[in-house]
């Protein structure tokens, strides 16, 4: 790599990205292209001769950008956020420049040691129990996604249980979670060999904002014990995808402890909010957890991917995931004087992800990050009040963090409880290109989700989104 060429190209790329962010509000938030659009615009084969950077930029502007859904747009309110920031972007650049493959300490000591330090910092910000720190038996690691985090936790729990009950007991192992738990748990069970019929998705309580009840979990466990099955894993959620419900951690933790079960907490979305003192109580009960996960790449200004996983006893992960081929052996690893994160994850290779999180923490500081979270929650409160003030709409579940679940009330003549009415409202809003929001179904009702969390979102964007929804609703109701 030629240094001067990199300098010139790097400047042009940074200018391109800056111009993109400057004009991001001019693009449709949700890409409006049709499936297969790009195949019609690009050649069938790779170029035999090198192209110019300018020609490449032209193609990005004209062919790629139209097919991008703009997650960083201030008018993005779908799913949950996926934050980017200057600090996160710079961290990604630096990681790409070093381009290490940090599977073991020796491959880049700074990568392993910075990750350990930054995960300890973050654990202290969340006030996690000291057992989750690297100075104890536990520690933290950056996984790619929460899907990977729950999978490695499940594998560790499975193998711990099989060592106790014997390998032939696999068919008897049972997993418990709310029916609001993210679908990544079901995929993890498929990969881990847990029988589909042994995955208990316990019905959440609509009267508790769709959190699961301890009584329902206990009842399911008792039934399975009578059948000779082995309950071994409970997954609780802090901030469910559909409604940002918070499962009762203290009670579920006690149930897991009473039955010698692994207790995993998925706080992928709402974990970020818990660095604020007024939201930390949502993590009460984490003391009983064996593993805890949150995504810094969702709502913490850290570019994707950066999913933080802590375990109370790292030996369970290592026993399940460690391999030690001759070609990877080295003095530091053989002496057990270092951490080799390859033994804490599914893949061998790993990126230098801790750089971007370190840079976010250093260039923003905890106080500014707390203010950032609080601002989004205040904007969600503002949107919630706008919905409440319009009698044609209803807020379906109480707002806990920065997600508002709402719907346009069905007409008396509706045969589907407003499903088509709200689907058409969402489709019209998204097709306008002005905003992007997504949906869920709760108790059979089609619900619109308005998740505030994009870095550039301000009050005027929330208000404009609401006015658009109101205007579109008026047109729909007039034509009904």
For residue 202, pLDDT beyond 80 = yes
Q: Where are the alpha helices (DSSP H) in 238-330?
A: 249-258, 296-299, 314-321
pLDDT of 478 reads 86
pLDDT of 414 reads 84
Domain boundary among 364, 381, 412: 364
- DSSP letter at 78? S
Q: Are residues 385 and 469 in the same domain?
A: yes
pLDDT of 68 reads 97
User: Residue 44 is part of a domain; what is its CATH number?
Assistant: 1.20.1340.10
Q: What is the pLDDT of residues 8-42, one digit of tens each?
A: 898 999 999 999 999 999 999 999 999 999 999 99
pLDDT band of 411, cuts 50, 70, 90: confident
Residue 310, C-beta contacts closer than 8 angstroms, at least 6 positions apart: 119, 123, 128, 132, 138, 139, 140, 141, 291, 292, 293
Percent of the chain scored above 90 by pLDDT? 92
**What values do phi and psi take at 16, rounded to 5?**
-65, -45
Residue 86 belongs to some domain of the structure: no
Mean of the per-residue pLDDT values of the chain: 95
Q: Are residues 408 and 436 in the same domain?
A: yes
Q: What is the pLDDT of residues 251-267, one digit of tens each?
A: 999 999 999 999 999 99
Strand-pairing partners, residue 266, are 237, 293
pLDDT of 40 reads 95
Residue 117 belongs to some domain of the structure: yes
Question: 249 near 236, Cβ under 8 Å?
Answer: yes
pLDDT of 434 reads 97
pLDDT band of 233, cuts 50, 70, 90: very high
For residue 473, pLDDT beyond 80 = yes
Q: Are residues 337 and 386 in the same domain?
A: no
Q: Are residues 360 and 373 in the same domain?
A: no
Q: Decide: residue 347, CB within 10 A, 0-12 exposed, 13-18 middle, 19+ buried.
A: exposed
For residue 183, pLDDT beyond 90 = yes
pLDDT band of 148, cuts 50, 70, 90: very high
Residue 93 belongs to some domain of the structure: no
Q: What is the pLDDT of residues 49-101, one digit of tens each?
A: 999 999 999 999 999 999 999 999 999 999 999 999 999 999 999 999 999 99
Nearest residue to 241 via CA among 101, 449, 427: 449
Q: Are residues 212 and 346 in the same domain?
A: yes
Q: Are residues 374 and 350 in the same domain?
A: no
Residue 79 belongs to some domain of the structure: no
pLDDT of 134 reads 96
Q: What is the pLDDT of residues 370-400, one digit of tens each?
A: 999 999 999 999 999 999 999 999 999 999 9
Residue 389 belongs to some domain of the structure: yes
Q: Assign residue 336 a region: left if phi > 0, alpha if psi is -120 to 50, beta otherwise?
A: left
Domain count, the chain: 3
- Rounded to whole angstroms, the Cα distance separating 302 from 109 reads 22
Q: Are residues 399 and 262 in the same domain?
A: no
Strand-pairing partners, residue 211, are 205
Residue 231 belongs to some domain of the structure: yes
Task: Note down the domain range covering 16.
Answer: 3-73
Residue 25 belongs to some domain of the structure: yes
DSSP helix/strand/coil, 369: helix
Q: What is the pLDDT of residues 363-378, one digit of tens each?
A: 999 999 999 999 999 9
Percent of the chain scored above 70 by pLDDT? 100
User: Residue 250 is part of a domain; what is its CATH number?
Assistant: 3.40.640.10
Residue 80 belongs to some domain of the structure: no
pLDDT band of 480, cuts 50, 70, 90: confident
Q: Are residues 442 and 357 in the same domain?
A: no
Question: 204 near 210, Cβ under 8 Å?
Answer: yes
pLDDT of 222 reads 97
Domain boundary among 335, 364, 393: 364
Q: Are residues 360 and 382 in the same domain?
A: no
pLDDT of 415 reads 86
Domain boundary among 330, 364, 398: 364
pLDDT band of 469, cuts 50, 70, 90: very high
Sequence length of the chain is 480
User: Residue 411 is part of a domain; what is its CATH number?
Assistant: 3.90.1150.10
- DSSP letter at 441? E
How many C-beta atoms lie closer than 10 Å to residue 166's C-beta? Answer: 10
pLDDT of 2 reads 85
Q: Are residues 434 and 316 in the same domain?
A: no
For residue 1, pLDDT beyond 90 = no
Q: What is the pLDDT of residues 289-330, one digit of tens each?
A: 999 999 999 999 999 999 999 999 999 999 999 998 999 999
Q: Are residues 321 and 467 in the same domain?
A: no
Q: Are residues 295 and 334 in the same domain?
A: yes
For residue 479, pLDDT beyond 90 = no
């Amino acid at each position: 790599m030629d240094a001067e060429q990199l300098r010139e190209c790097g400047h042009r790329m940074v200018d391109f990205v800056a111009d993109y962010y400057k004009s991001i509000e001019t693009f449709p938030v949700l890409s409006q292209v049709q499936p297969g659009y790009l195949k019609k615009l690009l050649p069938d084969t790779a170029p035999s001769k090198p192209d110019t950077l300018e020609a490449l930029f032209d193609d990005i502007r004209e062919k790629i950008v139209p097919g991008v859904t703009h997650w960083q747009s201030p008018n993005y309110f779908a799913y949950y956020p996926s934050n980017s920031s200057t600090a996160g972007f710079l961290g990604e650049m630096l990681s790409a420049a070093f381009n290490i493959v940090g599977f073991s300490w020796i491959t880049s000591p700074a990568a392993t040691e910075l990750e350990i330090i930054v995960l300890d910092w973050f654990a202290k910000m969340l006030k996690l129990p000291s057992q989750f720190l690297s100075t104890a038996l536990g520690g933290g690691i950056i996984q790619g996604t929460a899907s990977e985090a729950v999978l490695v936790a499940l594998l560790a729990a499975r193998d711990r249980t099989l060592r106790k009950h014997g390998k032939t007991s696999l068919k008897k192992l049972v997993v418990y979670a709310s029916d609001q738990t993210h679908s990544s748990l079901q995929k993890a069970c498929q990969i881990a060999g847990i029988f589909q019929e042994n995955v208990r998705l316990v019905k959440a309580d609509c009267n508790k904002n769709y959190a699961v009840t301890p009584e329902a979990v206990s009842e399911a466990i008792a039934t399975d014990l009578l059948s000779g099955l082995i309950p071994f894993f409970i997954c609780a959620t802090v901030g469910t995808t559909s409604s940002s419900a918070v499962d009762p951690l203290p009670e579920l933790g006690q149930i897991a402890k009473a039955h010698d079960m692994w207790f995993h907490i998925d706080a992928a979305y709402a974990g970020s909010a818990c660095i604020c003192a007024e939201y930390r109580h949502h993590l009460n009960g984490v003391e009983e957890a064996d593993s805890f996960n949150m995504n810094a790449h969702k709502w913490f200004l850290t570019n994707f991917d950066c999913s933080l996983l802590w375990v109370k006893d790292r030996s369970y992960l290592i026993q399940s995931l460690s391999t030690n081929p001759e070609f990877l052996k080295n003095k530091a690893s053989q002496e057990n004087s270092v951490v080799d994160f390859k033994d804490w994850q599914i893949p061998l290779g790993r990126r230098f992800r801790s750089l971007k999180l370190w840079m976010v923490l250093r260039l923003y500081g905890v106080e500014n990050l707390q203010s950032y979270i609080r601002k989004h929650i205040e904007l969600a409160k503002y949107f919630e009040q706008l919905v409440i003030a319009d009698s044609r709409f209803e807020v379906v579940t109480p707002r806990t963090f920065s997600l508002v679940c709402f719907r346009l009330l069905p007409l008396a003549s509706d045969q589907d409880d407003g499903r088509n009415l709200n689907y058409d409202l969402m489709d019209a809003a998204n097709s306008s290109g002005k905003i992007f929001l997504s949906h869920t179904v709760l108790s059979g009702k089609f619900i619109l989700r308005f998740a505030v969390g994009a870095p550039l979102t301000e009050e005027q964007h929330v208000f404009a989104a609401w006015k658009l929804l109101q205007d579109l609703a008026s047109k729909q109701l007039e034509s009904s």
